[in-house]
Structure formats: structure tokens, C-alpha cells
Amino acid sequence: MKRLLLACALAALAACQRPAPQLGLPPMAMAPASAAQVDLGRKLFMDRRLSRNNTMSCAMCHVPDQGFTATELGTALGVEGRTLRRNAPTLLNVAYVGQLFHDGRAATLEKQAWGPLLNPIEMGNPTVADVIGKIRTMPDYAGKFEAAFGGAGPDEQSVGVALASYQRTLVSGNSPFDRWRYGHDKAALSDAAQAGFAVFAGKGHCIACHTVGEQHALFSDARFHNTGIGWARSKGEAVLRRYRVQLAPGVFTEVQEQDLATVSEPLQLDDGRFEVTHNAAERWAYRTPTLRNVALTGPYMHDGSLATLEDVIEYYQHGGIDNPGKDKLMQPLQLTEVDKRNLLAFLRSLTGDNVARLASMARAERFDYPNP
């Protein structure tokens, strides 16, 4: 505590932005960053000029109003419309993720930030020096890095720290489920969602991977599992035979997988965790994602192949997709229609109470600057 106070005092008298403790979330491992660093990170996050051709910001794939993911895209689109092979994860509660990316290949948010900035199909900048040079020419950043980082200007480290510090404030608990389970408010959760939690923890076996603790819940064991999607994709097999496709808000149609395949781009190779460890047992294994705010963050799975939570529940009902490396915890379930409805109500009860506020704080940031 003493060291924390000292760190805050050192942060140039700036108010210390430790997010208020939220029901259902564990204490943050890292000391909070100064408000100046967080504000700078938010500005960078929203700024489209940080891409090579001034079109892409972090926020265009991690859209604040879409649960800090992109709900209209299965797999993300980058600079000049190039397709990424994976679904953009939500950044809500990313502060609690130890191994970043679907395959866990990045260890810290500070290091991760330069990945998209330099990736030719994300933000497309040629080098770190190009990005830093560009920031130095932008009058609206003048003095801001110096003020936030004790005199140091923009550089590789400070840009990473600012973006990481902002992302660590995207903390969202206090969901109806949290108020019921950790706040002991019996009225906070509907009967259906309570019954759904019993399915989640009982005959659904969801809790084996999407863990829920006594004091708090991250809904992830932070491990990597082969549930079958990666395997099916690599073999060109269907994930679900039918897809719901949105035509207009609230208007859906069902499409057969084979019809969809004829209009889609060919899939890019994706071996999951194997790409990091080269351990054959981890081919097509992906990190268990959190389920917090999951009602807001569709489409689902590492490739966005499941459009709705109903589809996800159907997927688990069939035990995922059989393949030689499938996780032993993935078994066909015997959920009744009532169980499925209750499970859905439970998943929808995991939305934090501050998501709209976090989105509006980001939206308030101006990001339509003229070209530098």
C-alpha cells in the first residue's frame, strides 16, 4: 500500500486511477497507472492516424460501442480491407489475461500493442520509428507524453505503456450474476438465470474450463483446449451445418455451410496453440475466453464461426466436434430445451454495469483528425 501511494505521488500529482473494486473481479495485480498515462492511452487507442494510411485505429476492430470487439465481423478486417484469420477478442477485462491472443503468444499488454501497429494487414506501419516520428509531428500530442512520462517524449516504451495503461482500465464486473453470487442480493438474478448457473456448474460442465471461484470469477482457466473448431476448419468441415446470417437489424436468415463457402474467401491456416509451443498435442487448442459481457461480444470462437449464443449452446450440446485431439472434457450433453433457455439467461446475466460508460468515455475522444 505504501509503495502504491508513493507511486501515485510520483506520478506528477496526477490522480491515481485505480478502478473502484468491482464485485466479482479479483484485485488487480499491477499498481495503477497515472490518469495522464491512461488518458494518453485512450487518445492513442482511438486515433486513426496511428495506421500507415490514417484509416485504422485500435478502436475500429475493438469497437467501444460493440463491447470492445467487432460484432459485425467473424474475422477482423485490417488496413485496406485485408482479412485477418481470427476474431477480435473483447478488451473488457483484458487486464486479467495472462497469455494474450487466442494462442497465448504475447505476455504483456505493453509488448502486444506494437503487434497491430506494425502488422502489415492490421495498421500497416513499416517501423516503430515511423510511428514515433508521426506522433512527434502531431500538434495535439505536443507535451502530452512529456507530462505523462516525467519528461520523456513519445518512444517505443511510452506508447506501449500508455496503450496498456488505458486497456487496464477497461474493467467490468458488477453484473447481475456478481451482485447475486458475490453481493448476496437474491433479487439481482432472475430465476431462469439462477437455474442456468446450475446447468453451467452441473450437467453442462462448463465450469470445468470457464472457472468460477468463491470470491471472484474470470470464467477462464487460462488454459488452451481443442474443442474441435480449429480441427474442423483445417479439414474444411462444417462447424454448424446451418448459420444464421443477419440481413438487417433484427432480420435473420439461415444459410447452409456449403452455400456460404462459395462466397467466402478461402480460409487461412490456423494451428492454434501449436504455433507457439510446437507441441503436437496443442494443435487446434485455443485459450478459454472469459464469458464476462459475452452477450455483447458475438460472433463467437477464435474464428467468429458461431453467430449467436444459441449456436454456441447447440455446439456444446453435441460435445463440440469430434477429432483425435479433442479435449476429454468435451462430451455430448443432455440439455433439455428448458436447460438451454436457462443457460442462455445465465450467459446474458454476465454483462457489467459500466460498459456503456467505458464506451462513452472512448467515444468522447476525437478521432477524425485531418491527415498529418
The residues that touch ligand HEC, with contacts defined as CB under 6 A, are 56, 58, 60-62, 76, 78, 84, 86, 88-89, 91, 94, 97, 100-102, 109, 112-113, 116-117, 122-123, 163, 167, 204-206, 208-210, 225, 227, 229, 286, 288-289, 291, 294, 297, 300-302, 309, 312, 316, 327, 329-330, 343
> Least distance from C-beta 59 to ligand HEC, angstroms?
8
CA dihedral 346, 347, 349, 353 (to 10 degrees): 160
Q: State the nearest-atom distance from the C-beta of 356 to ligand HEC, in Å.
A: 19
Closer CB to ligand HEC, residue 180 or residue 316? 316
CA 198 to chain centre: 26
Buried b / exposed e across 152-161, counting CB within 10 Å, b at 16+? eebbeebbbb
CB of 268 to ligand HEC, least distance (A): 11
Q: How far is the CB of 172 from ligand HEC (least distance, A)?
A: 14
**Residue 327 CB, nearest distance to ligand HEC (Å)?**
4
Minimum gap (Å) between residue 88 Cβ and ligand HEC: 4
Q: Which is nearer to ligand HEC, 56 or 218 (CB)?
A: 56
Nearer to ligand HEC, 7 or 367 (CB): 367
What grid cell was written down for 4?
Answer: 502504491
d(CA 296, CA 276): 29
State the nearest-atom distance from the C-beta of 284 to ligand HEC, in Å: 8
Nearer to ligand HEC, 78 or 176 (CB): 78
The Cβ of residue 72 has, within 10 Å, a number of other Cβ atoms equal to 11
240 contacts 290 by C-beta, under 8 angstroms: no
Q: Angle at CA 272, nearest 5°, toward 268 and 274? A: 120
Q: Which is nearer to ligand HEC, 8 or 124 (CB)?
A: 124
Nearer to ligand HEC, 7 or 325 (CB): 325
CB of 330 to ligand HEC, least distance (A): 5
Task: Judge residue 115's burial from the number of C-beta atoms within 10 Å of its C-beta, 0-12 exposed, 13-18 middle, 19 or more buried.
Answer: middle
What is the Rg, in whole angstroms, of the alpha carbon atoms belonging to the chain? 21
- Taking CA atoms, 7 is separated from 11, 17, 36, 251, in Å, by 6, 12, 14, 52
Cβ proximity to ligand HEC: between 89 and 176 the closer is 89
Q: Compare residues 88 and 195 and give the one whose CB is closer to ligand HEC.
A: 88
Instruction: Name the grid cell of 48.
Output: 486513426
> Do the Cβ atoms of 40 and 162 come closer than 8 Å?
yes
Q: Specify the residue, 89 or 154, whose C-beta has the smaller distance to ligand HEC.
A: 89
Cell 507535451, located at residue = 143
Report how far residue 152's alpha carbon sits from residue 83's, in angstroms, rounded to the nearest whole number. 36
The amino acid that residue 256 corresponds to is Q
* Cα–Cα distance for residue pair 326/281, rounded to 1 Å: 9
CB of residue 293 to ligand HEC, shortest distance in Å: 9
Q: CA distances (Å), 19 to each of 4, 89, 91, 159, 168, in order?
A: 14, 22, 16, 21, 9
Residue whose cell numbers read 456449403: 258
